[in-house]
Amino acid sequence: MASSTGDRSQAVRNGLRAKVLTLDGMNPRVRRVEYAVRGPIVQRALELEQELRQGVKKPFTEVIRANIGDAQAMGQRPITFLRQVLALCVNPDLLSSPNFPDDAKKRAERILQACGGHSLGAYSVSSGIQLIREDVARYIERRDGGIPADPKNVFLSTGASDAIVTVLKLLVAGEGHTRTGVLIPIPQYPLYSATLAELGAVQVDYYLDEERAWALDVAELHRALCQARDHCRPRALCVINPGNPTGQVQTRECIEAVIRFAFEERLFLLADEVYQDNVYAAGSQFHSFKKVLMEMGPPYAGQQELASFHSTSKGYMGECGFRGGYVEVVNMDAAVQQQMLKLMSVRLCPPVPGQALLDLVVSPPAPTDPSFAQFQAEKQAVLAELAAKAKLTEQVFNEAPGISCNPVQGAMYSFPRVQLPPRAVERAQELGLAPDMFFCLRLLEETGICVVPGSGFGQREGTYHFRMTILPPLEKLRLLLEKLSRFHAKFTLEYS
């Protein structure tokens, strides 16, 4: 990678002057951003793929990208109904084709009626197509056992990330000791750390409890908050449930305790619930923060501010490329909500095909619809296979000496802990690498398996982890898990 300094001496040799925009002179906040899920290890994976294509000999024949929750890249087929309706929306000439079921046609016509000029090619209003906001609200009501949801509080977005960044932007204020602090779990999904770095807010870490299957402990929230109050003004608390990268599913009791804590400490709650359809473990169940909050009644229900995020990228559909998502805000100040809408309007609107897809996800075929049986069968097959893969992952890793893995109760990842021998840690330090980065890079070079080091998500000092998706097809996943476990044994031996 070229360094700015290197460029400059090169420039001087060529008789060129310095650039206007240099690494030293650029936005220092942007420089501080880190995003491990697509960091240097993924860059290296891309290079290796290119080398393989050019015929370079490697100890493996393909690179397996288990670094990112991208189901369709791992071979999962799109759900037929979703793609039928979308194709009809994209090319309405197909509405006269006999090859599409009637309910798919009706759904496409309904969506197109709600679009400007009856076309996916028109901008929508910035908060998203009104009909789809209404469908999202009805989905939330069904999900939450009838607790009302108001379409006015639903804002469609470009994937969940976009909405999360927007809400965080609203919260950032102050300077020095009054800067906004935001509590985030450790390990976290690095969108949070990256966004806080870019916005100049203070990241306040609270640690999930690995010994208790990555449970969230309110005492730890207290500790983190108290320490943070010395140097910033904590204003918000982020929770990821089901957990990314940790795979834990929070109990109802835990969620209640978190809400009480947020209320007492006056923290705006951000609930990242994009894996709400991805719950596998017996005894685990998804409880939305909104539902729990409303059922807690006064003083919480009518006052605690909450933003809940969802996405079309995960679940059973895995339609990452369409960048669909939404946020529901609860108890948000009306004037702030207007400001949020204004901010969204600068970027015009979320991608309309993603909005259409979201509509189908939140209002799938009804039992009386011609497409229902196939839709259900496809959906259940995906979720059943994911559950089997979650189980398999935990099992294989826990059989490997030096690797321990909490149950993958939900989401799409395992986050196993690996023992790394002291000599490997020293070697990594010599190379200027985090020890788990060193491990993951060696793993990639020798097996083609691309996983993300725990240091990219945060972990307790002196512990080492990696995040690996459970998305490869079952038999391939088994081979991968075994290969990875064998590599770890070999690596341990090499450095012992």
Q: Which of 435, 434, 439 is nearest to 450 (CA)?
A: 439
Q: Which of 83, 155, 205, 117 is nearest to 345 (CA)?
A: 155
Q: Is 115 in the site for a copy of itself (CB under 8 A)?
A: yes
Q: Is 16 in the site for a copy of itself (CB under 8 A)?
A: yes
DSSP, res 292: H
Least distance (Å) between residue 212 CB and a copy of itself: 29
Q: Which of 9, 227, 285, 338 binds a copy of itself (CB under 8 A)?
A: 338
Q: Which of 12, 31, 285, 384 binds a copy of itself (CB under 8 A)?
A: 31
Q: Length of the chain, please?
A: 496
Strands 180-186, 233-240: pairing kind = parallel
Burial of 324 (0-12, 13-18, 19+ CB in 10 A): buried
Backbone angles phi, psi at 225, to 5 degrees: -65, -45
Please identify, using beta-carbon distances, which residue of 227 and 345 lies nearer to a copy of itself. 345
Q: Is 112 in the site for a copy of itself (CB under 8 A)?
A: no
Query: What are the tokens at 83?
Result: 């793609």
Query: Cβ neighbours of residue 392 under 8 Å, at least 6 residues apart?
Result: 470, 474, 477, 478, 481
Q: Which of 41, 48, 68, 434 binds a copy of itself (CB under 8 A)?
A: 68
Q: Is 60 in the site for a copy of itself (CB under 8 A)?
A: no
Q: Which of 41, 132, 172, 484 binds a copy of itself (CB under 8 A)?
A: 172
Least distance (Å) between residue 13 CB and a copy of itself: 13
Q: State how far the alpha carbon of 241 is from the alpha carbons of 97, 150, 225, 289, 310, in Å.
A: 42, 23, 20, 9, 11
Q: Are 208 and 187 contacting, i.e. CB atoms less than 8 angstroms apart?
A: yes
Least distance (Å) between residue 382 CB and a copy of itself: 12
Q: Are 327 and 102 contacting, i.e. CB atoms less than 8 angstroms apart?
A: no
Please identify, using beta-carbon distances, which residue of 122 and 219 lies nearer to a copy of itself. 122
Site for a copy of itself in 346-365 (CB under 8 A): 346-354
Q: Is 369 in the site for a copy of itself (CB under 8 A)?
A: no
Q: In this structure, how many other beta carbons lie within 10 angstroms of the beta carbon of residue 218?
A: 14
Backbone angles phi, psi at 426, to 5 degrees: -60, -45
- Strand partners of residue 123: none
Query: What are the tokens at 297?
Result: 């009644």
Q: Is 9 in the site for a copy of itself (CB under 8 A)?
A: no
Q: Is 450 in the site for a copy of itself (CB under 8 A)?
A: no
Q: Which of 282, 335, 475, 493 binds a copy of itself (CB under 8 A)?
A: 335
Q: Is 177 in the site for a copy of itself (CB under 8 A)?
A: no
Least distance (Å) between residue 394 CB and a copy of itself: 25
Q: Is 87 in the site for a copy of itself (CB under 8 A)?
A: yes
Q: Is 381 in the site for a copy of itself (CB under 8 A)?
A: no
Among left, alpha and beta (phi > 0; psi -120 to 50; other), residue 371 is: alpha
Alpha-carbon gap, residue 424 to 426, rounded angstroms: 5
Site for a copy of itself in 258-277 (CB under 8 A): 266-268
Q: Which of 12, 47, 51, 122 binds a copy of itself (CB under 8 A)?
A: 122
Q: Is 121 in the site for a copy of itself (CB under 8 A)?
A: yes
Per rule CB under 8 A, count of chain residues that contact a copy of itself:
105
Please identify, using beta-carbon distances, which residue of 318 and 453 lies nearer to a copy of itself. 318
- Sheet containing 452-453, strands listed edge to edge, beginning at the edge strand earlier in sequence: 413-414, 466-469, 452-453
Least distance (Å) between residue 131 CB and a copy of itself: 13
Stretch that binds a copy of itself, among 189-197, 384-392, 406-414, 462-470 (CB under 8 A): 189-197
Site for a copy of itself in 304-323 (CB under 8 A): 305, 317-323
Alpha-carbon gap, residue 325 to 161, rounded angstroms: 8
Least distance (Å) between residue 141 CB and a copy of itself: 23
Strands 64-65, 449-450: pairing kind = parallel
Least distance (Å) between residue 266 CB and a copy of itself: 5
Q: Is 374 in the site for a copy of itself (CB under 8 A)?
A: no
DSSP, res 320: G
Least distance (Å) between residue 240 CB and a copy of itself: 16
